[in-house]
Copies of this chain bind each other. A is one copy, B any other.
Amino acid sequence: MYQLNEILENKVINKLILGFERSPDQLNKPHESDAEIIQLNDNIKLAITTDSISEEISTGLYDDPYLIGWMIVMVNMSDLAAVGATPIGILISEIIPKTFSEEKIKELQKGISDACKAYDTFVLGGDTNEGGILILTGTAIGIIKNEKPLTRLGCKPGDIIYSSGKLGSGNAYAISKLISQTNSFSGYKPSAQIKNCKIISNYASCCMDTSDGLISTLDQLMRLNNVGFELVEDWEKIIDGNSLQYAENNHIPPWLLFAGQHGEFELIFTIPQDLKDSFLEEALLTGFEPIVLGIVIPDSKVKIYLYGKMIPIDTAFIRNLPAETKGDINHYLKLLLEYDSGLKNTPSLNFTTH
């Protein structure tokens, strides 16, 4: 676990679960999939996942009750999508402050209800408590119909990396909410890839959502699969228009929209070269247009073409930075910008042939 433990978040998790026995019916090991995968009987595999929204509220990142309601369903559905599961439903535990108005509660519940409708799923139950600040915990369950469940494991050098959609809105939104002296960024309302995940799970060699941003996702896939990723030269095309404009207006290097750790909940997945044509054919039939990000390489590095050269990014530094800067968001951004400046002086690397 040396490689995984280089990332503080992985280390914390590994420490917490150290004394726990694993279920003999669980098909994934820790870190290996976005949702837990349980073999229920010969024919049925369950996917189950839990996610809380608390730090996002306490830091002020989420302050709109409707968005919070939407997100508690969406983040959990996104984990189900990443293992190719069809949702059965969600349970939601709500800790609500006394001071939270009736109007806000209505908005919160409307967000939950709308998200359930969007994913054709249902609130099955929940729990309610009073507390100092609003905290929501969702637990979603689904069924996996594929023989071989989709996990974070399985990509090989040569596979093509795709994103289910354009990236950057999660971090553009986070900058606008958390960094003073930036303009507002509107329209952050991510969608879980419940619909497209069916096709993806038929072809992909591995999959993970960008809940923590693209670089965290690639870094984790790199550590788990012992491979690397090289992003295509014209990676600016991967960023959605509003977010790119927003970064430019606020003098933020666009690639930092991949580095921040508030994601857009797209699926990052890899397709073996020989399956590419049939995958794209089936995808296009449903109107799904996946975006090529780059290629899987043997060398365990994440490389981006920046400032006229292919640069290996210090993804461990980027992933550990929020913990290292202890929640001081301005200091965090300052160090990221310094890292970016440093890259301009990095010697160039040869391209991997592909």
Q: Looking across the interface, which residue of chain B has its beta carbon closest to that of A98?
A: B326
A50 interfacial contact with B, CB 8 Å: yes
Which one, B93, B126, B131, B133, contacts A55 given CB within 8 A? B131
Give complex CA distance A88, B124 in Å.
Answer: 18
| CB neighbours of A88 from chain B (8 A) | 23, 25, 38, 40, 46
A26 → chain B closest CB, angstroms: 6
Tell me which residues from 126 to 178 in chain A have a Cβ below 8 Å from any Cβ of chain B: 126-133, 135, 137, 139, 141, 143
Give complex CA distance A117, B23 in Å.
Answer: 11
| CB neighbours of A51 from chain B (8 A) | 93, 127
* Interface pair B93/A124, CB less than 8 Å apart: no
* Interface pair B13/A93, CB less than 8 Å apart: no
Q: Looking across the interface, which residue of chain B has its beta carbon closest to that of A106?
A: B19
| CB neighbours of A36 from chain B (8 A) | 91, 124-125
Give complex CA distance A49, B127 in Å.
Answer: 9
Q: A26-B122, A55-B130, A129-B55 are in contact. Are A48 and B16 (CB under 8 A)?
A: no
A273 → chain B closest CB, angstroms: 33
User: How many interface residues does chain A have, given as a range?
Assistant: 35 or more
| CB neighbours of A15 from chain B (8 A) | 105
Q: Tell which of A108-116, A218-226, A229-237 binds the partner.
A: A108-116
* Interface pair B58/A132, CB less than 8 Å apart: yes
* Interface pair B129/A48, CB less than 8 Å apart: no
Give complex CA distance A296, B345 in Å.
Answer: 82
* Interface pair B21/A128, CB less than 8 Å apart: no
A92 interfacial contact with B, CB 8 Å: yes
Which one, B22, B26, B92, B122, contacts A21 given CB within 8 A? B122
Copies in the complex: 2
* Interface pair B112/A38, CB less than 8 Å apart: no
* Interface pair B58/A123, CB less than 8 Å apart: no
A116 → chain B closest CB, angstroms: 7
* Interface pair B127/A50, CB less than 8 Å apart: yes
Q: A122-B26, A141-B141 are in contact. Are A52 and B93 (CB under 8 A)?
A: yes
| Interface bits A24-47 vs B (CB < 8 Å: 1, else 0) | 011000000001101011001010
Q: Looking across the interface, which residue of chain B has its beta carbon closest to that of A15?
A: B105
Which one, B105, B124, B133, contacts A16 given CB within 8 A? B105
| CB neighbours of A131 from chain B (8 A) | 54-55, 58, 135
A1 interfacial contact with B, CB 8 Å: no
A interface residues (Cβ-Cβ under 8 A, vs B): 12-13, 15-23, 25-26, 35-36, 38, 40-41, 44, 46, 48-52, 54-55, 58, 88-89, 91-95, 105, 109-110, 112-113, 116-117, 121-133, 135, 137, 139, 141, 143
Can you list 23 A-B contacts with CB-CB less than 8 angstroms, sorted by A residue number? A15-B105, A16-B109, A18-B109, A20-B122, A21-B113, A21-B117, A23-B88, A36-B91, A36-B124, A38-B124, A40-B88, A44-B44, A46-B88, A46-B141, A50-B92, A52-B129, A54-B129, A54-B135, A55-B131, A58-B132, A95-B135, A127-B137, A135-B135
